[in-house]
Amino acid sequence: MLTMGEALATNARRYRDKTALIFDQDRLTYGELDARVNQAANLLISLGISKGDRVAILLPNSLEFAELYFACARMGAVAVPVNLRLAPQEMAYVLEHSESKLLVGYGPLLLAAAAAGLKPSASLVGMLTVEEGPPGIPAYSELRDKAPATDPGVAVSEDDPWVLVYTSGTTGRPKGALRSHKSNLMIALLLVTEIGLSSEDVGLAILPMFHVNSLWLVSLSLCIGTTMAIYPHKVFHPSYVVEELNRHKATYSMFVPTLLTYLADAAEKGLVDPQQLRVILSSSSPLTTTLRDRMLAGFPRARLYDIYGATELGAVTIIQHREGGVIGSIGVPALAQDVRLLDDDGQEVAAGEVGELYCAGPTLMDSYFKDAEATKSAFRGAYMSVGDLARRDEAGYLFLVDRKADMIITMGENVYPAEVENALAAHPSVAMAAVVGVPDARRGEEVVAVVSAREGTEIAVKELEDLCQRSLADYKRPKRILVWAELPIGATGKVQRRSVREKLVAEAAGGR
């Protein structure tokens, strides 16, 4: 089995003069990228970074981000991508917990952290900056360009750790998922086999590179020799996504459903070539019937897939959407993945019953870094869970019900927000929906829904109430349906239920 560094080196020999990465106006061929990765790896070594040391990367999307991932792979260090949307104190926690020895950071962010009075963690022995940062911190690119472009010659194994990715921390402090070269390479190879990409394709990485969706998409592309364009804007706007798709004539990309809504709008308005995209990947939550059918109609050449996975698990299940096909499902286990739905006693549940989803396969993380207890509780033998609840129908299709942590308990009944959100999203005027539980003296929790409207439409709350009346049991129906102009969206494009709930609770407290 290859390591990630070896996979890139192989394609540098096969496709030396082919464009590997595009970022805005900058391009790197496979040969140039491989040389840059060697330079960056040798720079890390010259700064005292050894095999197994952690290197924190605090950067927006950039060529430097990609080359640092692979520089760590080449010399055996562990890359620690840091979420740019974290508060300074949260960033400090990641740096301290990961015991990162080097931080390569975006200058303006380093300046903001310094202004906030944050001190470097005790483990840091060095800092480098991309773009101008605090005085005295060397520029990464200047030092990299002086380093030799030869392979550093470090022996790296497929079982060695490559990345330490911190989860979102919605249920407490973020946990660091330690992932090996082998597990990440298997994600790339299994996905390529499932969705049918080749070296002739051109991809677009839209989401932030600190997130595993873009990490895996970029890794996949460089492992099979495609050309990958990286979304270059520091702010997200749907029109920019369409602009980048058109500019690079991308044949594949990964989206979340909120982005697909805008993409369907663009196709219906003639703003994007409907024959261009060949593979459309969606993740984070299942598509609704309305959105699926809009995408299939708007992009008749494309194969549309839903993929379910997690930072800790990799890509677990997959479904290819077809008109009139199964909807709301996360599909069936992907190649080489064994999925089981277990009750609290570890027994498999019957078809139609809800159980906790466990997966065994070659794409799982190794452990939660420095957290033996969390690692132990996540595994049952070779099977791992991140707390998602699902059911399997008689035909073998899996349906994600919700996360244990998001489950609402009202009058002793369990309500899974995703089920209610999917019901609301079936209305053609609803762009996004979030369903949360708000404390209620009588019920324990009250089911509250917040929705936003699709562009050019208005939402009639009565119609949504009637829709819920028809499609949901009485205890699942929202007691209140609120219309907001916008819902809070996280870095991965998913609606942040926690933020919605916090706002509703604060408004209730303020009204007393």
What is the token pair recorded at 493?
Answer: 């494009």
- Least-confidence region, from 112-121, 122-131, 192-201, 252-261: 112-121
Question: 63 near 230, Cβ under 8 Å?
Answer: yes
Q: Identify the band that residue 251 occupies on the pLDDT scale cut at 50, 70 and 90.
A: very high
DSSP letters, 355-373, are EEEEEESTT--SEETT-HH
- pLDDT greater than 50 at residue 171: no
Interatomic CA distance for residues 136 and 132, integer angstroms? 10
Question: Candidates 3.40.1190.20, 3.40.50.12780, 3.50.80.10, 3.40.50.150; correct CATH number of 25-178?
Answer: 3.40.50.12780
Question: 291 near 329, Cβ under 8 Å?
Answer: no
**R_g of the chain computed on alpha carbons:** 23
CB atoms within 10 A of CB 52: 10
* Cα–Cα nearest to 64, from 163, 10, 122, 139: 139
The 10s digit of each residue's pLDDT in 191-211 is: 999 999 999 999 999 988 998
Q: Identify the band that residue 305 occupies on the pLDDT scale cut at 50, 70 and 90.
A: very high
The 10s digit of each residue's pLDDT in 384-430 is: 999 888 999 999 999 988 666 677 878 656 687 887 898 898 899 99
First to last CA, the chain: 62
* Structure-model confidence comparison of residues 54 and 309, the more confident one: 54
Q: Please give the backbone phi and psi of residue 401, each rounded to the nearest 5 degrees, phi first.
A: -90, -55
Q: Which residues does residue 306 pair with via DSSP β-bridges, in sequence order?
A: 282, 319
| 136-140 own/partner pairs: CB under 8 Å, 24+ apart | 137/110, 140/43, 140/64, 140/104
What is the token pair recorded at 26?
Answer: 């900058």
The CA distances from residue 70 to 8, 47, 304, in Å, are 8, 17, 29
Q: Residue 265 is inside which H or E element, if any? A: helix 257-268
pLDDT averaged over every residue in the chain: 91
Asked whether the domain spanning 408-510 has the same topology as the one spanning 25-178, the reply is no
Q: Identify the band that residue 286 occupies on the pLDDT scale cut at 50, 70 and 90.
A: confident
Question: 277 near 302, Cβ under 8 Å?
Answer: yes
- pLDDT greater than 70 at residue 270: yes
Question: 165 near 152, Cβ under 8 Å?
Answer: no
- pLDDT greater than 70 at residue 1: no
Q: Which DSSP symbol is given to 331?
A: B
Question: 220 near 192, Cβ under 8 Å?
Answer: yes
355-360/379-380 β-pairing: unpaired
Q: Which residues does residue 415 pair with via DSSP β-bridges, in sequence order?
A: 408
Q: Which residues does residue 28 pair with via DSSP β-bridges, in sequence order?
A: 21
Asked: is 408-510 a CATH 3.30.300.30 domain? The reply is yes
- pLDDT greater than 80 at residue 446: yes
DSSP letters, 190-205, are HHHHHHT--TT-EEEE
Across 434-450, average pLDDT: 86
Q: Which residues does residue 178 pair with via DSSP β-bridges, in sequence order?
A: 164, 367
What ranges in 309-437 are assigned the alpha helix state H? 372-378, 417-425
* Structure-model confidence comparison of residues 109 and 253, the more confident one: 253
Across 224-247, average pLDDT: 94
Q: What are the sequence ranges of the domains in the chain?
A: 25-178, 235-404, 408-510
The 10s digit of each residue's pLDDT in 464-479 is: 999 998 878 787 899 9
The 10s digit of each residue's pLDDT in 319-328 is: 999 999 998 8
Q: In what order do the strands lie in the sheet with 314-321?
A: 26-29, 19-23, 227-230, 202-205, 252-255, 279-283, 303-310, 314-321, 332-333
Interatomic CA distance for residues 265 and 245, integer angstroms? 14
Task: Give me the pLDDT at residue 120, please.
Answer: 78
| Amino acid at site 491 | A
Interatomic CA distance for residues 242 and 455, integer angstroms? 16
SS3 241: helix
Q: Give the homologous superfamily in CATH for domain 235-404.
A: ANL, N-terminal domain (3.40.50.12780)
Which of 43-57, 124-138, 463-477 has the highest average model confidence (pLDDT)? Answer: 43-57
| Amino acid at site 463 | E
**Which string of b and e fits 215-246 if b means at least 16 CB within 10 Å?**
bbbbbbbbbbbbbbbbbbeeeeeeeebbebbe
78-81/54-58 β-pairing: parallel
Q: Identify the band that residue 8 occupies on the pLDDT scale cut at 50, 70 and 90.
A: very high
Q: Identify the band that residue 47 occupies on the pLDDT scale cut at 50, 70 and 90.
A: very high
Interatomic CA distance for residues 379 and 400, integer angstroms? 19
Interatomic CA distance for residues 309 and 316, integer angstroms? 5
Angle between helices 181-195 and 4-14 (to 10 degrees): 50
- Helix H, strand E, coil C: the string for 94-120 is HHHHHCCCEEEEEHHHHHHHHHCCCCC
Angle between helices 30-46 and 63-75 (to 10 degrees): 60
Interatomic CA distance for residues 175 and 166, integer angstroms? 5
Interatomic CA distance for residues 145 and 168, integer angstroms? 34
- pLDDT greater than 60 at residue 172: no
